[in-house]
Amino acid sequence: MIHLSTTQIFLMIFIPGLITQILRALPFVVFGRRAISPMIRTLGAPLPFAIMAVLVVYCLKSIPTGSLKENLELLAAVLLVAGLHLTKKNTVLSISVGTVFYMVLVHIV
């Protein structure tokens, strides 16, 4: 249970929210008004490909410290999602089947 005043609770949501929104706004505040330099423009194109790869690793960041069982469950589910997506090419199907499979592994095995 939470033992904080309403003001404290408010601040603990408001302050990180403010920081997150400043981080989101910063590129637009810095570069948003002037003409965009060719360097920034060429950077915008390859960046998504790199960031998505980073985000996949971010989701799997528990692996170096995880147990063998946890890691095998995670890898099995990731392989299932990848396999489904490569063969069926249906995002909703890959995601939902993969997640149900993972949750079954986590809860039952």
Partner 1 sequence: MCEFRYAWKRALPILLTYFFLAAGFGIMLQQAGLGAGWAAFASIFIYSGAFQYVVVSFLTAGTSLVTVALTALIMDSRQFFYGFSFLEDFRKGGWKYPYLVWSLTDETYALLTSLVIPAELNRPTVEFWVQLLSQLSWVLGSVFGAAMGAAIPFDFEGIDFLMTALFVTIVIDQWKRSANHFPALLGFGSSIVFLLLVGAANFMLPTLVFTTVILTVSSRREAKEAIDDPS
Q: Quote the CA–CA distance of 66 and 60 in Å, as a whole number.
A: 10
Exposed e or buried b for every residue in 83-99, given b needs 16+ CB within 10 A? ebeeeeeeeeebeebbe
Closest CB 54 distance from partner 1, rounded Å: 4
Residues near partner 1 (CB under 8 A), total: 70
CB of 79 vs partner 1, minimal distance in Å: 9
Counting contacts by CB under 8 A, is residue 109 touching partner 1?
no
Q: How far apart are CA 70 and CA 53, in angstroms?
A: 21
* Secondary-structure breakdown of the chain: helix, strand, coil percentages, each rounded to the nearest 5: 80, 0, 20
> 33-92: which residues touch partner 1 (CB under 8 A)?
36, 38-62, 64-65, 74, 77-78, 81-82, 85-86, 91-92
Of the pair 13, 68, the CB lying nearest partner 1 is at 13
Angstrom CA distances, 107 to 7, 28, 61, 70, stand at 38, 44, 21, 11
In the complex, the residues that contact partner 1 under the rule CB under 8 A are 1-4, 9, 11-17, 19-21, 23-28, 31-32, 36, 38-62, 64-65, 74, 77-78, 81-82, 85-86, 91-92, 94-96, 98-99, 102-103, 105-107
